[in-house]
Amino acid sequence: MVEAAGFLTLPAKVTRGLRVVPGDLFFLHEELPGVLSLGIYHELLADNWEALSPENRWRYLEKFLGRPLTTLSHEGDLAIPEELFPLRKGENVWLWVTSSGLTHNLLLFQKGKNDHRTPNGDNGASEAAGSVRDAFAVGGLRGPVRSPLIAESLR
Confidence of residue 132 (pLDDT cuts 50, 70, 90): very low
Instruction: Check pLDDT > 80 for residue 16.
Output: yes
Tell me what the mean pLDDT of segment 135-144 comes to.
Answer: 33
pLDDT one-digit tens code per residue, 27-49: 999 888 899 999 998 887 777 77
pLDDT of residue 85: 94
pTM: 0.70
Provide the pLDDT confidence category of residue 63 given band limits of 50, 70 and 90.
Answer: confident
pLDDT of 57 reads: 82
Q: Which of 58 and 134 is assigned the larger pLDDT?
A: 58
Can you say how many angstroms the Cα of residue 45 is from the centroid of all Cα atoms in its chain?
17
- Could you please report the per-residue DSSP string of 77-137? EEE--TTTS---TT--EEEEEEEETTEEEEEEEETTTT----TTSS-SHHHHHHHHHHHHT
